[in-house]
Chains A and B, each alone.
Chain A
């Protein structure tokens, strides 16, 4: 089992629709979860972080965390063509008991929003 798994894309949604991106993780004690957006040829950009069970909203983005199910998701409402990118789920995992941990990424989901 991979440490962080994302729903295999690519995902294509029409403009204005809700895009739903999902991620599961293997380390039950993980505490920090992140979503990064990466445009082709660019570096990852942090768009959401979530640390507690439940929903966290920021503009058109909502992150959802369920630690019991080891599941984290990202919803993008009113999707725009400019949202077309690869979305990376990242989980901060333990690294030998250190305080800074290790960010483990999923394989990414390619999202295309078509007009």
Chain B
């Protein structure tokens, strides 16, 4: 298995809803990432998990809450989002540790906040 999977592909939610995005990889990668991408902009880093520990939080609002239950799974819990949070949410993974740093992206979840 050489891919990163993400579910759901599309999500529409209201500002009072609670939802979660899921990311899974079975490549034995030990670093996993959440990115947010707005239209016509590059991906913007949100969180990094390294060896299942949160390593980087790019000053993301608390309405986004990441979770890494195990080395293969990464969740992003969403609560009380704003319409401006509508974007493509990308998960990526890479082998952990020093050395080469190729990151592989999942297909993304297209989120719309009404």
Number of A-B contacts (CB under 8 A): 58
A99 touches B97 (CB 8 A): yes
Within 8 A of B (CB), among A70-115: 88, 92, 95, 98-103, 105-108
Instruction: Mark contacts of B89-105 with chain A using CB atoms, 8 A cut-off: 1 yes-contact digit, 0 otherwise.
Output: 01000101110111111
A100 touches B100 (CB 8 A): no
A99 touches B98 (CB 8 A): yes
A32 touches B50 (CB 8 A): no
B31 on the interface (CB 8 Å rule)?
yes
Of A44, A45, A88, most B-chain CB atoms within 10 Å: A44
Interface-lining segment among B13-21, B41-49, B66-74, B76-84: B41-49
A107 to B42, CA, bound (A): 6
A18 CB to nearest B CB, Å: 24
B113 CB to nearest A CB, Å: 18
A49 touches B45 (CB 8 A): no
**Which residues on the A side are within 8 Å of B45 (C-beta)?**
102-103
- In the complex, which of the residues B33, B42, B48, B55 contacts A88, with contact meaning CB atoms closer than 8 Å? B42
B41 touches A98 (CB 8 A): no
**Which residues on the B side are within 8 Å of A99 (C-beta)?**
50, 96-98
Of A102, A103, A106, most B-chain CB atoms within 10 Å: A103
B88 CB to nearest A CB, Å: 7
- In the complex, which of the residues A43, A100, A105 contacts B48, with contact meaning CB atoms closer than 8 Å? A100
Within 8 A of A (CB), among B23-47: 31, 33, 41-43, 45
A61 CB to nearest B CB, Å: 15
B31 touches A100 (CB 8 A): yes
A42 to B96, CA, bound (A): 25
Enumerate the 5 nearest inter-chain pairs by beta-carbon distance, A residue then B residue, closest first: A105-B42, A43-B105, A92-B101, A32-B101, A43-B108
Additional 6 contacts, C-beta under 8 A, given A44-B90, A95-B48, A107-B41: A44-B43, A49-B100, A49-B102, A51-B100, A99-B96, A100-B97
CB-defined A-B contacts under 8 Å, sample of 14: A36-B105, A42-B108, A43-B90, A43-B107, A43-B108, A88-B42, A98-B50, A100-B31, A100-B48, A100-B94, A101-B101, A102-B45, A105-B43, A107-B42
